[in-house]
Amino acid sequence: MCGRYAASFHPEDLVERMEIEADLSAEHTRSILSRPQEPPVGAPDYNMAPTKQAAVVLTRRVEQEPLRQLRMLTWGLVPSWAKDTKTAYRMINARAETLFDKGAYAKAAGARRCLVPASGWYEWQASPTQTDAKGKPRKQPFYTRRADEDLLAFAGLYEFWRDRTLADDDPDAWLVTFTIITTAAEPGLDRIHDRQPVVLDRADWSTWLDPAVTDPDDVRRVLTAQPAGRFEAWPVSTAVSSSRSNGPGLLDPVPRSELHGVVDPETGEILA
């Protein structure tokens, strides 16, 4: 799964890098958080967590012409048929292997695909030798990014949900949410966790965002065409486990001398 990631940029930083034609990131969008988001929406966030609003790139037709847009959407999919917004907490990820088999994702996979910009993502490795105070495997967080340090673009889906309790002219009548697509972890990363987000290379961005691409086989082809070996990963502080923690210090590597019962993702060695 992908349950946390880093987005260490401002929306304006993405306009040129992702060939944005309409920057709508400053527009009002409904939030489902019970308190103001921290860091504020649009600020660099080194610990992006589910139900926060995050930058998402999508293509919508405007006057019959496709327009690549940058928007702030809520992480955690709420299907159009949902009775309330509670599904957002459970639908932060969609499995690539069953995308068109699940009613909550199938229509969006054919018509509402997006890119989720990120600097890197976090995953927790269960130790094969060390346990915590409850006797469960101790979990060591890792940070993964592209080895070339380029921007990541997760494959995602987005959806619209109408709050029937609000008037048509209420700015919060519509909630727009997204989910990140995951796949089986590639060799090396599978020593950290058995799943990883699907990271699309630049050559596939346009195809993924194209609303004219609706055939399931074409969509699956993009998801499975991504090469392995693009990433590097290192252990980071357990501070990232708290959604209240933030800042660039979360990306700092933990010294090898402080690691115990951690599996090196490159070699498979268990650090004593």
In the numeric block, which tokens belong to residue 21?
């034609």
Given this model, what pLDDT does residue 63 score? 84
Q: One-letter amino acid identity for 270?
A: I
**Selected catalytic residue, list 2, 16, 63, 186:** 2
Given this model, what pLDDT does residue 150 score? 97
Cα 136 vs. chain centroid, distance in angstroms? Answer: 27
Given this model, what pLDDT does residue 69 score? 98
- Each residue of 52-78: b (16+ CB within 10 Å) or e? bbbbbbbbeeeeeeeebbbbbbbbbbb
Q: What are the residue ranges in the chain where pLDDT is below 50?
A: none
Contact, 74 vs 180, CB < 8 A? no
Which domains does the chain show, CATH number per domain?
4-271 (3.90.1680.10)
Contact, 124 vs 1, CB < 8 A? no
Strands 120-131 and 137-146: antiparallel
Given this model, what pLDDT does residue 272 score? 78
**Selected catalytic residue, list 123, 149, 159, 258:** 123
2 is catalytic: yes
Predicted model pTM: 0.97
Given this model, what pLDDT does residue 64 score? 83
Q: One-letter amino acid identity for 115?
A: L
Q: Using one digit for the tens of pLDDT, what is the confidence trace for 97-123?
A: 999 999 999 999 999 999 999 999 999
114 is catalytic: no
Alpha carbon distance 68, 60 (integer Å) = 7
Q: Using one digit for the tens of pLDDT, what is the confidence trace for 37-81?
A: 999 999 999 999 999 999 999 999 888 889 999 999 999 999 999
